[in-house]
Chain A
Amino acid sequence: MHAEREILFRESAAAALLDPQLRANFRRAMDGLISKRQAQFPDPRDLQELRDLSTAIRSRSLLRLPELLEQLEASCTKNGIQVHWAETCEQANELILGLLQARGAKTLVKGKSMVSEEMHLNAFLEANGVEAIESDLGEYIIQLDGETPSHIIMPAIHKNKDQIARQFSQKIKDAKYTEDVDELTAMARKVLRQKFLEADAGLSGVNFAVAETGTLCLVENEGNGRMSTHVPPLHIAVMGLEKVVADLESVAPLYAILTRSATGQAVSTYFNLITGPRGADEKDGPREVHLVILDNGRSRIYADPELRATLRCIRCGACMNHCPVYTRVGGHAYEAVYPGPIGKILTPQMEGVGVRHDLVHGSSLCGACGEVCPVEIPIPEILVRLRREATHSDPGSQVAGKGTGRLASEDWTWRLWAAVLKRPALYRLATWFATRLGGALPAGVPLLREWTRTRTQPVPARRSLSERMRAEGGSHD
């Protein structure tokens, strides 16, 4: 899924910043999520130990990835779950369409799955005559408006209830206008339960896939995941190939840190372990369960020991909840399936650092993301690495689009910068000019022009510290 054209984060972010409603919606939601997460980790020692354990579990999974995937496949197959592999989103889509068509399935209810967003599965199925219905309430809300998720956990977080009330009253048959959240929820329940009842097939993502037991773990609050995976006769699960863990013991810590990091819940309403289709004597459950394992660039990320940490991600969304940039521009400004800090490192690796170079510069490198990441992904360091990849073409690197994403003036600017700053005499000359003339620079010169959009022009001191210390003499070595 390589993007063809350069996508400038700055432009979409600037547009988003002009929407006061959007900014208020995100600010309120993120402030709430930050304090809820904080309340779940009262003891910093417990938190650090749980992060260390979770990081170790995910690192071990990645170190043994090919072996664990084979074990997962064998265990699933033994349990009656049919396993399929897809190198690309196109392959995965075709595979799923094939499964549906072979069984004459016309409607598919979906539990929440970011991988299916990555595949743009809904649009593909619609184009091929299969109705795909999002059943997570947030996903349902945005599907009604033809939107994409603006957050990986809370897809409709950009909307407030007035907007949803208007939308429901217009798009749901016989719906009255109400801003009451319980009533809005009840409307969606009514529509979607009918869909669950009638659907020919269900689709879900996978939070963790357990190699040893061949189990697919699903974390959710609404019950739509269980509905999608237990009610229709066919269940198709899609997962990125990094989701595998060795054993169920390893899942417990990951689950504990996932819900707490994501929504500040100690536990989700449901933690659903699927280890097979309907058993011989069972009276319900799907007749068939299929697991689609998707690569889509992940094996390339995997090949780089530093970038591999990206694949530790358990998709909790804490990095976006704590990101000062995401909080202000919201998820859509990223023009990517995965927004926020994790999206800033994942998207350029999937689509190319060249076309996405502006995204990797869309961070102040404040480090809030890395600080809260439950599996300690060094997001700021990886951003810096990708900035380097975008501007340099290291022969050993496998990063997509390497060396193709720089500003026109960038190379010589840094060369000039280094040429001055490694020579004290030149620096001295430059600072002499700056201190004497700095305040007189016209505000229209590049960089200063950007700086002074919201700030006054910085005025250098009349004499630099070095100059004063030189005048003082004495303390020089």
Chain B
Amino acid sequence: MREVYFYGTCLVDLFFPDAGMAGIQLLREAGVKVIFPDGQTCCGQPAFNCGYWEEARDVARAQVALFPRDLPVILPSGSCAGMMKNHYPELFHGQPDEAEVRAFSGRVYELTQFLVDVLQVQLKDLGEPVKVTWHSSCHAVRDLGLKGQPQALLGQLAQVELAPLAREHECCGFGGTFSVRQPEISGAMSCDKAADAEATGASVLLSTDGGCLLNVNGTLEAKRSPLRVQHIAEFLWERTHAR
């Protein structure tokens, strides 16, 4: 039986555990044994992006140590996957454990990437007709290089209509510490994103990333919008299982 590791990420751990559970269930349903090592915290990206690389390294090192076996590491986040896959080698450049970290980075996948590219899952839609829209997280697309895997999965769902989001590739304004260091600009970006999302007429905005979801959700709630947000893993699980 195929085995994989699952890395929850701090935002999913704390704010979207249902999305994490759904991701694990989707993998299991595809016939994969999912190992969820205890002791996961954060990939270290916030400190890395702020220039505190020693601190980021300390935390990153603790994560890498949890995944010793040569198994794929699956993350329900494009941003954290991008950090672990592309920025860990940079962060550990010249460190004694660089080789070990690089090997780890080579095993990292974002969830939809793994579902589509490796497992080639086929989904069967059991839900009612629904119109959704897609927010492509900047890091998932530009940093990790996600190329349409989420859309491919949504495309398998017969009753799901994907409404195009204007300026789909524009940042939602989250940006980690940016959201609190530059709250005015971040807020302006978030409000625009929320307005573009509402204009699609969709009832749900989906994304791969907890940061974007937390941000857009908070903004939509503040303006009492009926539009809700959901992590794609949770949405896929719900659509493929009658409640």
B232 to chain A, nearest CB (A): 16
Decide: A364 and B189 in contact? CB cutoff 8 A. yes
Decide: B170 and A324 in contact? CB cutoff 8 A. yes
How would residues 26 to 67 of chain B score, 1 for a CB under 8 Å from any chain A CB and 0 otherwise?
000000011111111110101111111111101101100000
Q: Given A365-B49, A365-B178, A455-B222, are A371 and B142 neighbors across the interface (CB < 8 Å)?
A: yes
Decide: A450 and B221 in contact? CB cutoff 8 A. no
Decide: B218 and A468 in contact? CB cutoff 8 A. no
From A328, A420, A461, B17 is in contact (CB under 8 Å) with A461
Query: Could you list which residues of chain A lie within 8 angstroms of chain B, going by C-beta atoms?
Result: 9-10, 13-14, 17, 23, 31, 324-325, 328-329, 361-368, 370-371, 381, 384-392, 410, 414-415, 417-418, 420-424, 427, 431, 434-435, 438, 447, 450-461, 463-470, 475-477
Decide: A466 and B184 in contact? CB cutoff 8 A. no
User: A31 CA to B196 CA in the complex, in Å?
Assistant: 14
Decide: B46 and A417 in contact? CB cutoff 8 A. yes
The A/B interface has a contact count, at CB < 8 Å, of 212
Q: Which residues of B contact A453 (CB under 8 A)?
A: 183-184, 187
User: A365 CA to B143 CA in the complex, in Å?
Assistant: 10
Nearest B residue to A324 via CB reads B171
Q: Which 3 A-B pairs have the closest CB atoms?
A: A364-B175, A455-B218, A388-B51
Please list 12 pairs of residues, one from A and one from B, whose beta carbons are closer than 8 Å in the complex, sorted by A's number: A361-B182, A364-B138, A364-B175, A365-B138, A387-B49, A390-B51, A418-B54, A420-B41, A455-B221, A464-B14, A475-B36, A477-B69
User: A370 CA to B139 CA in the complex, in Å?
Assistant: 12
Nearest A residue to B33 via CB reads A475
Asked if B13 is an interface residue, CB under 8 A from chain A, the answer is: yes
Decide: A454 and B175 in contact? CB cutoff 8 A. no
User: A418 CA to B51 CA in the complex, in Å?
Assistant: 13
Decide: B51 and A451 in contact? CB cutoff 8 A. no
A325 to chain B, nearest CB (A): 6
A16 to chain B, nearest CB (A): 9
Q: Which residues of B contact A389 (CB under 8 A)?
A: 51
Q: Given A461-B17, A475-B35, are A455 and B187 neighbors across the interface (CB < 8 Å)?
A: yes
From B55, B142, B218, A451 is in contact (CB under 8 Å) with B218
Q: Which residues of B contact A13 (CB under 8 A)?
A: 182, 184-185
Asked if B8 is an interface residue, CB under 8 A from chain A, the answer is: yes
Query: Could you list which residues of chain B lie within 8 angstroms of chain A, going by C-beta atoms?
Result: 5-6, 8, 10, 12-18, 20-21, 24, 33-42, 44, 46-56, 58-59, 61-62, 69, 90, 138-139, 142-143, 167, 169-171, 173-192, 214-215, 217-219, 221-222
B6 to chain A, nearest CB (A): 8
Decide: A417 and B47 in contact? CB cutoff 8 A. yes
Beyond the given pairs A362-B178, A460-B15, A475-B36, 20 more chain A to chain B contacts, judged by CB atoms under 8 angstroms and listed by A's residue number, are A10-B181, A325-B189, A364-B186, A365-B178, A389-B51, A417-B59, A421-B10, A421-B41, A421-B62, A450-B181, A450-B183, A452-B218, A453-B183, A453-B187, A454-B186, A464-B14, A465-B17, A468-B21, A469-B24, A475-B24
Decide: A363 and B175 in contact? CB cutoff 8 A. yes
- Interface majority SS on B: helix, strand, loop or mixed? helix
User: A414 CA to B177 CA in the complex, in Å?
Assistant: 12
User: A362 CA to B184 CA in the complex, in Å?
Assistant: 11
Nearest B residue to A353 via CB reads B51
Decide: A427 and B36 in contact? CB cutoff 8 A. no
Greatest chain A CB density within 10 A among B8, B21, B39, B182 is at B182
Q: Which residues of B contact A414 (CB under 8 A)?
A: 47, 50, 52, 55
From B5, B46, B189, A328 is in contact (CB under 8 Å) with B189
Q: Which residues of B contact A435 (CB under 8 A)?
A: 14
Q: Which residues of A contact B169 (CB under 8 A)?
A: 368
A41 to chain B, nearest CB (A): 15
Decide: A418 and B142 in contact? CB cutoff 8 A. no
